[in-house]
Chains A and B, each alone.
Chain A
Amino acid sequence: MPATKKLGLKQKYALMTRGLDWETTYQPMEKVFPYDQFEGIKVKNWDAWEDPFRLTMDAYWKIQAEKERKLYAVIDSISQNNAQLGITDARYINAVKIFIQGVTPLEYQAHRHFAHVARHLRGVGPRIAAQMQSLDELRHAQTQIHTISHYNKFFDGMHDWQHMHDRVWYLSVPKSFFDDAVTAGPFEFLTAISFSFEYVLTNLLFVPFMSGAAYNGDLATVTFGFSAQSDESRHMTLGLEVVKFILEQDEANLPIVQRWIDKWFWRGYRLLSLVGMMMDYMLPKKVMSWAEAWEMYYEEQGGALFADLGRYGIRPPKHEDVARKEKDRISHEVWAIFYNYTHAAAFHTWDIDDEHMRWLSEKYPKTFDQLYRPRLLMWRDMARAGKRFYNNALPQLCNLCQIPMAFTEPDDPTTICFRSSELGGDRYHFCSDGCKEIFDQEPEKFVQSWLPVHQIFQGNCGGASVEDVLKWYHLNLGADNLDYAGSPEQKMWDQWMAGRHVAQAAE
């Protein structure tokens, strides 16, 4: 036997991984890998892929098994100890509802589509990176389902999340985002999800939900969130590596990647407006405002990233100036949408109390008192008079991001922003130049969009009345929907808290 050479991690990984693949000769490579060239991305040398993780399967199993053992021990203890009693307020749970309805199905979609990438790219390095992420995404979907399962036993709105994700109007926003990504080619998918979302914008999803959970006593979400974070750091590395790899392969790739970065920045940003609403309006104990998060995680960190990518010829995404102008407005505009349509949503909205308004006023000194406080006060008065405002007209949706058309002109916060394009005798409506330009680039793709309001009017959503549609959504009427005030959830929570006060008084 030869003397055993010591191997470093990098060498060991290379020996165990590189060269597993081969150029097929009994079948042409174009037939074995039919989908990795139609986007026009040129790859000269797949071996130039720098493996970002250098993780072999044996190490993966060991690390992940250990993480899962710890996580499930905490999940068990959460349900045994009724940890839901420790949250700040039952209103907080509405953030968790949005998470399982809107985010968990996307984690699952990512699992399936990273398997697509793992099969259909021809380089072994990115294929292994993609399949490990595919497994991770399945983990995230399943651990979220298992953790939130306990909340579902007590709280409303979480009981039929997949059915709702495929049907409910506002869940069409995250669904259409991901459907767009997975129906694109593999390189656009990686640019969209791994780079634009997981690398550039991830902190704007992760930090609000996880810190929100930590601030509000939600141990369950904190636990799966932080357990997932160690996977996420791998995914972020993959995102940056993908874009650098593509750009280094051929300079003809630059304009294609730039167009994708522009597109997916805007799509991601529009999707995150729902998170902005959650941060500013739904957390009983606040972490930071949307505007602060945008400044810290996009304007500062993203600015540094795009300065770095400048050496490849990449410029910052188009319309980031619009996002900057909108940062004092979008969370308020989106809360207003959901306050209007809470009767058709599987989570609650409510009257914003004075203390909360003081916080909003402090965080948004240029906009809140002038533009949004009067509206909230009017709604409060209406509710007190027994006329809680629900908007019974169906909203016009942006054909691209699918959010109701309630965003305002970049330079005028009092005028709704309308844009449109004509195609084949039909007019398509958009909330912004960003959404319109994405449509105009690929109209044949976006005329296919499943627009919930159009579908309701066409009779494809369970019937002609609002109640028919809500039943088709599987909403438990009077429990999942409507204002928090008077909800079964509020009643249950108040009973729990009253019991606690009595118990404390008896000590």
Chain B
Amino acid sequence: MNIDIQGLTLEPRRQTYSHIARRFGADRPASRYEEASYDVQATTNFHHRPLYQPEFQIFDPRRTKIVMADWYKFRDPRQLYYGTYNMSRAAMLQAIDKNFDFIEERAMLANVEPAWLEKVKEYLIPMRHYEWGANANNQLITDWGYGTQITSASAFCGADRLGMAQIISRIGLAIDGNTGDTLQAGRNLWLNASYWQGVRKMVEDSFVEADWFQTLVAQDLAMDGVMHPLVFARFDAEGQKHNGVPLSMLSEFMSEWYADNARWVDAVVKTAIAESDANAQLVSAWFAAWAGRAAEAARPLAEHVLGAAGKSAVEEIADKLMTRAAGLGIKA
């Protein structure tokens, strides 16, 4: 419709929603991230207690021992909302799809040293189960977390983990020519190989922790902080010596993702710690316990892949993780 608005003043009567204006102290135009991520969750006057958890309200800040005066301090430095999240991942995927095509067209996986390709099947393919576990843990954060901000970011993180489990599956299918044998073998390793059992036990133990902020520290900071650098950086670097470049290209998504996700995890952990000493102590204790376990659990895997260098590889990664944690305010 062509409307002539000559002589009309279309002066907005307000710039944004009232709850956004209250939060920022002024009625000013808000960003899409702000309108999508602040105060969307219900906070009061719930009608019923959950049948399965009558000690809590539907949304209840008491589901973690972390205490925040305001649960909307967990601003995502990436400012992701649903639209920008999907566009970002679709763009990252485009590069991966090209890499898959490039490598499959040239049958480049055939150039990888056969002994190394066997190792890849042993360390990389079972990671799909680790990622599935991480998916479950991030769904838990979205389920029981408090506030729109932290729970939408964990929902995106959870989706990323399913995506990565499936990208790893695709790598397995590229290796075995779509029979799925590699995936089946990888699953058996995850369930039975001695060098995977420490990791699997750690993941299963994380499933029964009820405090969702502990889950976040355990999964997204401590466990990932060991497993991702080990598998997608250290093992991958080792592969370079064995013509492993095609596998680096197929795993590119995971490296890029880790850096991106760490920005969010660091911001969240830092904010919780800065809130109070009590929070700092809780997070530090959780981190110490889970980072220690992760390093211990990863060692047999590292030794299986890197031999004698495995132990020091894990130590180096753990040291780096400690430095990163100290930067967030975690006390040793």
B290 shortest CB reach to chain A, Å: 15
Report yes or no: A2 in contact with B179, Cβ–Cβ below 8 A: yes
B183 touches A19 (CB 8 A): yes
Residue of A6, A35, A152, A183 with highest tally of chain B CB at under 10 A: A183
How far does the Cβ of B306 sit from chain A's closest Cβ, in whole Å? 25
The answer to the question of B303 belonging to the interface, with a C-beta cut-off of 8 Å to chain A, is no
Interface residue A128 (Cβ < 8 Å from any Cβ of B): yes
Name the residue on A nearest B176 (C-beta).
A2
Which residues from B are CB-within-8-Å of A167? 44-45
A162 to chain B, nearest CB (A): 6
Number of B residues contacting the other chain (C-beta, 8 Å)? 89
CA distance A217 to B1 in the complex (A): 9
Of all chain A residues, the one with the shortest Cβ separation from B202 is A26
Interface digits, B2-44 against A, CB 8 Å rule (1 contact, 0 not)?
A: 0111111010111111110000000000001001100111111
Q: A119 on the interface (CB 8 Å rule)? A: yes
Closest to B253 in A: A58
Q: For A127, what are the chain B residues with a Cβ–Cβ distance below 8 Å?
A: 136, 139
- Say yes or no: B19 contacts A138, CB within 8 Å: no
B8 and A119 contact, CB distance less than 8 A: no
Given contacts A1-B109, A135-B155, A184-B51, contact A166 B44 (CB under 8 A): yes
Q: Tell whether, in the assembled complex, residue A65 and residue B18 are in contact, meaning their CB atoms are under 8 Å apart.
A: no
Chain A positions within 8 Å of B292 at CB level? none
Interface size for chain A: under 10, 10 to 19, 20 to 34, or 35 or more residues? 35 or more
A82 and B90 contact, Cβ closer than 8 Å, known pairs A22-B187, A131-B159, A142-B83 = no
Chain A residue with Cβ nearest B48: A183
Stretch at the interface among B166-174, B258-266, B272-280, B317-325: B166-174
Q: Least Cβ distance of B149 to chain A in Å? A: 12
Please give the distance in Å from B152's CB to the nearest CB on chain A.
6
Residues of B within 8 A of A488 (CB): 13
Contact in complex: B104, A4 (CB < 8 Å): yes
Find out whether the CB atom of A500 lies under 8 angstroms from the CB atom of B8.
yes
Q: Are A61 and B19 in contact (CB under 8 A)?
A: no
Given A154-B12, A161-B17, residue A3 in contact with residue B42 (CB < 8 A):
no
Cα A450 to Cα B57 with chains together (Å): 13
Give the docked Cα–Cα distance between A159 and B59 (Å).
23
Q: How far is the CA of A85 from the CA of B81 in the complex (A)?
A: 29
For B166, what are the chain A residues with a Cβ–Cβ distance below 8 Å? 16-17, 56-58
Is A495's CB within 8 Å of the partner chain B?
A: yes
Q: Which of B1, B14, B40 has the most CB of A within 10 A?
A: B40
A61 in contact with B142 given A503-B4, A503-B7 (CB within 8 Å) = no
Decide if B238 is an interface residue (CB 8 Å cutoff): no
A165 within 8 A of B: yes
Contact check, B87 vs A69: say whether CB atoms are below 8 A apart: yes
A275 to B82, CA, bound (A): 28
Taking CB atoms and an 8 Å cut-off, the chain B residues in 139-178 that contact chain A are: 139-140, 142-143, 148, 151-152, 155, 158-159, 162-163, 165-167, 169-170, 173, 175-178
- A115 contacts B142, C-beta separation under 8 Å: yes
Q: Are A3 and B177 in contact (CB under 8 A)?
A: yes
- If A131-B158, A503-B4 touch, whether A163 touches B19 (CB-CB below 8 Å) is yes
29 A-B pairs within 8 Å (CB atoms) are namely A1-B109, A2-B177, A20-B129, A22-B187, A26-B205, A35-B52, A57-B159, A65-B86, A65-B89, A65-B91, A68-B86, A72-B83, A115-B142, A115-B155, A115-B158, A118-B136, A131-B139, A131-B158, A139-B82, A139-B83, A142-B82, A149-B16, A162-B40, A183-B47, A185-B52, A448-B49, A449-B48, A503-B4, A507-B4
- Chain B residues with a Cβ under 8 A of chain A: 1, 3-8, 10, 12-19, 32, 35-36, 39-52, 58-59, 81-83, 86-87, 89-91, 93, 97, 104, 107, 109-110, 128-129, 132, 135-136, 139-140, 142-143, 148, 151-152, 155, 158-159, 162-163, 165-167, 169-170, 173, 175-180, 183-184, 187, 190-191, 200-201, 204-205, 207-208
